[in-house]
């Protein structure tokens, strides 16, 4: 039977499948980087944490991998020292608040705006229905020749 080869999720090279989804060299490097990530997070406690971009640069690990660690809970208690940038107001927010792309302030406003959006969309739909009805009526009216023109045309033809 052929060897069970698989692609490393990090470097995409083929390797003989183990319980890990990373090849041995990536797994070893990541283990070192992970220790460094953990050390830097703990060290950032005094500075209210470290931003994910800074940490990514310091350790040479992509932000998406760091996010993955955070989301999977691999950072344990150190996760609260990982800071993110709010995608809405660009404020830095702490991993303590959880990672959801927005800071807690924006999360509150986004959810209330979402409520407004849903309500206004309903209003638009109602307005659109009314508009469609009016369009249909005006189409029906214009497809029939206006009565006054028909009369004058008929009158002219009768006269000819
Ligand atoms: Zn690899
Ligand atoms: Zn924000």
Q: How far is the CA of 37 from the centre of ligand 2 (A)?
A: 25
Q: Read off the tokens for 80.
A: 């609260």
Domain identity same for 143 and 93: no
**Higher confidence at residue 59 or residue 157?**
59
Whose atoms come closest to the Cα of 110: which ligand? Answer: 2
Quick check: pTM over 0.85?
Answer: no
Within a domain: 10: no
Within a domain: 24: no
Domain boundary among 102, 122, 150: 102
Domain identity same for 94 and 112: no
Whose atoms come closest to the Cα of 91: which ligand? Answer: 2
**In total, how many domains does the chain have?**
2
Within a domain: 3: no
Q: How confident is the model at residue 110 (pLDDT cuts 50, 70, 90)?
A: confident
Mean pLDDT over each residue of the chain, to the nearest integer: 84
CB 50 within 8 A of CB 82: yes
List the domain range (segments joined by +) for residue 134: 107-159
The CA-CA-CA angle for residues 71, 74, 75, to 5°, reads 95
Q: Above 80 in pLDDT, residue 60?
A: yes
* pLDDT tens profile 11-53: 999 999 888 899 999 999 999 999 999 999 999 999 999 999 9
């Amino acid at each position: 039977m052929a060897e069970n080869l698989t692609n490393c999720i990090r470097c995409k090279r083929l390797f003989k499948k183990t319980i890990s989804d990373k090849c041995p060299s990536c797994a070893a490097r990541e283990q070192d980087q992970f220790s460094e990530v953990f050390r830097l997070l703990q060290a950032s406690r005094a500075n209210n944490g470290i931003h994910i971009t800074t940490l990514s640069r310091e350790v040479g690990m992509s932000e998406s991998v760091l996010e993955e660690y955070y989301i999977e809970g691999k950072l344990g208690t150190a996760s609260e020292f990982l800071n993110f940038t709010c995608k809405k107001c660009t404020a830095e927010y702490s991993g303590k608040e959880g990672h959801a792309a927005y800071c807690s302030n924006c999360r509150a406003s986004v959810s209330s705006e979402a409520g407004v959006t849903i309500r206004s969309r309903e209003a638009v739909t109602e307005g659109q229905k009314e508009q469609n009805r009016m369009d249909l009526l005006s189409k029906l009216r214009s497809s029939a020749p206006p009565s006054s023109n028909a009369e004058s045309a008929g009158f002219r033809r009768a006269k000819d």
